Amino acid sequence: MAASPAVHGGTPVRAGRPWPRWPQPAPGADRALLDVLHSGRWSIASPYGGVPTYEQRFAEAFAEYLGTGHCVPTASGTAALMTALEACGVGAGDEVIVPALSWAASASTVVGVNAVPVFAEVDPHTLCLDPTAAEAAITPATKAIVVVHLYSAVADLTALRAVADRHGLALIEDSAQAHGATYKGRKVGTFGDVGTFSMHHTKVLTSGEGGAAVTDDAALARRIEHLRADGRCRGPLPPRTGAPELVETGELMGSNRCLSEFQSALLIAQLKTLDAQNSTRWANAVLLDRLLTEQGLRPQQTSPGTTRRTYFGYAVGLPWEEFDAADSGAVAEALTAELGLPVRPVYQPLFASRLYDPSSRRRFDIGPGHLGRLDPGRYSLPVSERAARSFLTFHHAALLGEETDMHDIAEAFRRVLARRARLTG
């Protein structure tokens, strides 16, 4: 008989044994932070000090890592998305197609530029935007498509790029959860007109907070620079020491969404460890895929063009088809008790998310009928709803452990699922 689940008083699979911590400071991170601390320049808006800023150095390093022409660091992934949308010409009343299953920022950033997010179904296996559903959602008001590489999957970029090109739409690639992943041999983030990244505390490349927008289009990069620095950008030549480095061009009004020098210095150090950590996560995920598949579970898949997966979250579908959100929540709670590792259901569909409610902020009531266009209650998308009920996820830090840790995760699933009736009945 299977051991009693820890949530019902049994001995946990991992009693008292810790998981790898996150974030993990890279070698040299402390020295880089101290260098900024004593440099007299903590912001790119500070007077020029005679050497390139850490922000500029990170931008160049990240662009080279991705193989793209331009990188503009930002204060957050949200800031990167909002500046990307505006740089691509999205504005008041325009529609932007976004995946129905994603973090709240996929919708709130669109609303934040006075546009209208239009939710489209996801692929049931990858949980990423379904190209056919995206194309079906296009109307004369559509201005852009935002594709999200979710958890560990890369979306079908070939098909989505073709849809965008067919209809003359901007394609914005939200790669906040996919630093270092590749599709057909190219880094993700480089297939869209603009690619965006988050460097939030939880991400595989992190400075606590932060983000970046990348593009091969010099004009788009210049617009993003202005949008994130109060309408200023770097001049063509360095100024004299002590003078401002950012030039007030008057080209485009912006806001202050800049990355600090501390964050930039930290990211330069962290970038050097990214590939090695991604390789460890990938190897452990491959093993865990096999162990969980043997139990009848369904690890998240990725699109066929993927040539390298990265893991922001490990996501897996439970082995039964029809059950409600309370069931998956109970299973997640039981797994957390077994492992001492937070296991959660995946994101709720955006139209059902408590974090997406434009009516709660008066600033979005910009004209007759606009709030009605934003009303999430007008959507019913069963694939996304079913995925939210059936998939669970946990943070990538657990994949930095040993092979034995993957066996612990598999044992926890075996023990909990063997007692499913007791958990969900």
The residues near 229 (Cβ < 8 Å, ≥ 6 apart) are 44, 45, 246, 254, 256, 257, 258
Q: Would you say residue 3 has pLDDT above 70?
A: no
373 alpha carbon, distance to own chain's centre: 26
d(CA 31, CA 37): 10
Q: Which fold has domain 29-271?
A: Aspartate Aminotransferase; domain 2 (3.40.640)
Give the Cα-Cα-Cα angle 335, 336, 341 (nearest 5 degrees). Answer: 120
Q: What is the pLDDT of residues 296-350, one digit of tens each?
A: 999 999 999 999 999 999 999 998 765 665 688 999 999 999 999 999 999 999 9
Share of the chain above pLDDT 70, in %: 97
Q: Would you say residue 413 has pLDDT above 80?
A: yes
Contact predicate 81/326, CB 8 Å: no
What are the DSSP E strand ranges found in 269-388?
298-299, 306-308, 313-317, 343-345
- Predicted confidence at residue 276, as pLDDT, reads 98
- Predicted confidence at residue 7, as pLDDT, reads 87
Burial class of residue 130, CB neighbours in 10 A (0-12, 13-18, 19+): buried
Q: What is the pLDDT of residues 34-45, one digit of tens each?
A: 999 999 999 999
- Predicted confidence at residue 16, as pLDDT, reads 82
Where along the chain do its domains lie? 29-271
Share of the chain above pLDDT 90, in %: 92
d(CA 241, CA 48): 5
Establish whether 203 is a catalytic residue. Answer: yes
Active-site hit among 143, 187, 203, 272: 203
3-state SS, residue 259: coil
* pLDDT range class, residue 421, cuts 50, 70, 90: low
Q: Is the peptide bond before 23 cis (omega within 30 degrees of 0)?
A: yes
Q: Strands 306-308 and 313-317: what pairing?
A: unpaired
Q: Would you say residue 279 has pLDDT above 80?
A: yes
pTM above 0.85, yes or no: yes
- Predicted confidence at residue 176, as pLDDT, reads 98
Q: Would you say residue 422 has pLDDT above 80?
A: no
The token duo for 359 is 């009516």
The token duo for 78 is 């949200």
Residue with tokens 């959602």: 137
